[in-house]
């Protein structure tokens, strides 16, 4: 697979693999053996960039990723994250320096490695100056425990302040045709500072695949069951987006998911989406998105169409304040 560079010379595959859904967020955890096989299949197909977090379990996902990638550790880039009390988002934010150091040490053990390639602050903590966060990660880099510093869902001010202390290699935030907020301020800022961008939920948490109908019922342990954007009225109202990618996919001889990923890759050369899946055939489909070419005419057509589509529904419920805090 084609390679891309994030900030600070960090080279990764053009598409990464988001491992969260294997153990957290979308229902019951995947069978461990099947999950390990899936991660290894991703690597066999050219993926070198794998995304985890302490909060996905908590800890379970890092252990899974560590076991799966142990045989090829020196061939891959592993990202993980800190930032929540006890690794549990519902318990609130915690990016105190002592907590960051603790999470790093525990992650190293769970990941079966001697260094974390990319260590993100999962969400900005308003109770801890971002300079202290960056400085703590800088110390971990000096100690050889971490290679690169990242932020997730951070706003422009936090990015600038953190970057001034310890250069940020990547920002991970939600970005897709379903959520385009980063285009206004974030993408220009990242270009200015030389920071790579790692979109999570590049398929709109499944919406852009065209597989969700307005009458789709999500299981109670699927977080989408509480998200306004995934309620029946919103799913119906946002169908124009699915129609757009589906029409293009039919013309290109590919799938809607592949169009959505190709669109993201075409936005900037330093954008690396991390689609996740629990199914081998979907993994193959997603990775095929890196081979779909959208022409200038295609991109103009998509841009014009998106300008006329108003997405309905918030992306998080109000109760998930820690996930939308900047």
- Write out pLDDT tens, residues 21-45: 999 888 888 999 999 999 999 999 9
Checking if the pLDDT of 82 tops 90, the result is yes
pLDDT in tens, 177-229: 999 999 999 999 999 999 999 999 999 999 999 888 777 888 888 888 888 88
Closest CA to 303 of 257, 249, 244: 244
What pLDDT score was predicted for residue 326? Answer: 64
Closest CA to 314 of 238, 214, 216: 238
- Supply the pTM of this predicted model: 0.95
% of the chain beyond a pLDDT of 70: 98
Greater pLDDT, 234 or 87 = 87
What pLDDT score was predicted for residue 319? Answer: 73
Mean pLDDT throughout 125-134? 98
What pLDDT score was predicted for residue 215? Answer: 79
Integer Cα distance of 53 and 216 in angstroms: 28
| DSSP 8-class letter at 259 | H
Catalytic residue among 5, 17, 26, 56: 56
* Strand order from edge to edge, sheet including 17-18: 17-18, 49-51, 77-82, 116-121, 146-152, 168-174, 196-200
What sections of 57-185 are H helices per DSSP?
A: 60-69, 97-110, 130-142, 156-165
| DSSP 8-class letter at 30 | P
Closest CA to 100 of 81, 113, 114: 81
Q: Does 58 sit behind a cis peptide bond, omega within 30 degrees of 0 on the bond before it?
A: yes
pLDDT mean across residues, the chain: 95
CATH architecture of 3-324: Alpha-Beta Barrel (3.20)
What contacts 60, CB < 8 A, 6 or more positions away? 23, 24, 29
56 carries an active-site annotation: yes
What pLDDT score was predicted for residue 25? Answer: 82
Half-sphere exposure of 120 (CA within 13 A, CB side): 24
Cβ atoms 140, 101 nearer than 8 A: yes
Dihedrals φ, ψ of 171, to 5°? -110, 130
| DSSP 8-class letter at 97 | H
């Amino acid at each position: 697979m084609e390679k891309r560079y994030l900030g600070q010379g960090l080279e990764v595959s053009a598409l990464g693999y988001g491992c969260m859904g294997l153990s957290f967020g979308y229902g019951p955890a995947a069978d461990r053996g099947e999950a390990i096989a899936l991660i290894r299949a991703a690597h066999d197909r050219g993926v070198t960039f794998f995304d985890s977090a302490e909060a996905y379990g908590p800890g379970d996902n890092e252990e899974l990723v560590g076991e799966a990638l142990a045989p090829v550790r020196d061939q891959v880039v592993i990202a993980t994250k800190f930032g929540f009390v006890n690794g549990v988002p519902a318990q609130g934010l915690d990016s105190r320096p002592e907590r960051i150091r603790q999470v790093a040490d525990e992650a190293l053990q769970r990941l079966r490695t001697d260094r974390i390639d990319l260590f993100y602050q999962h969400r900005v903590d308003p109770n801890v100056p971002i300079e202290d966060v960056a400085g703590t990660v800088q110390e971990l880099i000096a100690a050889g425990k971490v290679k690169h510093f990242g932020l997730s869902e951070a706003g422009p001010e936090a990015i600038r302040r953190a970057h001034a202390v310890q250069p940020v290699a990547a920002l991970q935030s939600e970005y897709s045709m379903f959520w385009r907020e980063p285009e206004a301020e974030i993408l220009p800022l990242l270009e200015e500072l030389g920071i790579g961008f790692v979109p999570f939920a590049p398929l709109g948490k499944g919406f852009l695949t065209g597989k969700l109908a307005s009458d789709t019922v999500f299981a109670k342990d699927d977080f989408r069951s509480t998200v306004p954007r995934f309620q029946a009225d919103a799913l119906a109202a946002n169908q124009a987006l699915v129609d757009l990618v589906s029409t293009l996919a039919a013309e290109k001889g590919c799938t809607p998911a592949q169009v959505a990923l190709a669109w993201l890759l075409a936005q900037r050369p330093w954008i690396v989406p991390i689609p996740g899946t629990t199914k081998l055939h979907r993994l193959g489909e997603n990775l095929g998105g890196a081979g779909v070419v959208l022409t200038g005419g295609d991109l103009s057509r998509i841009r014009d169409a998106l300008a006329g589509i108003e997405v309905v529904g918030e992306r998080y419920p109000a109760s998930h304040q820690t996930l939308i805090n900047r």
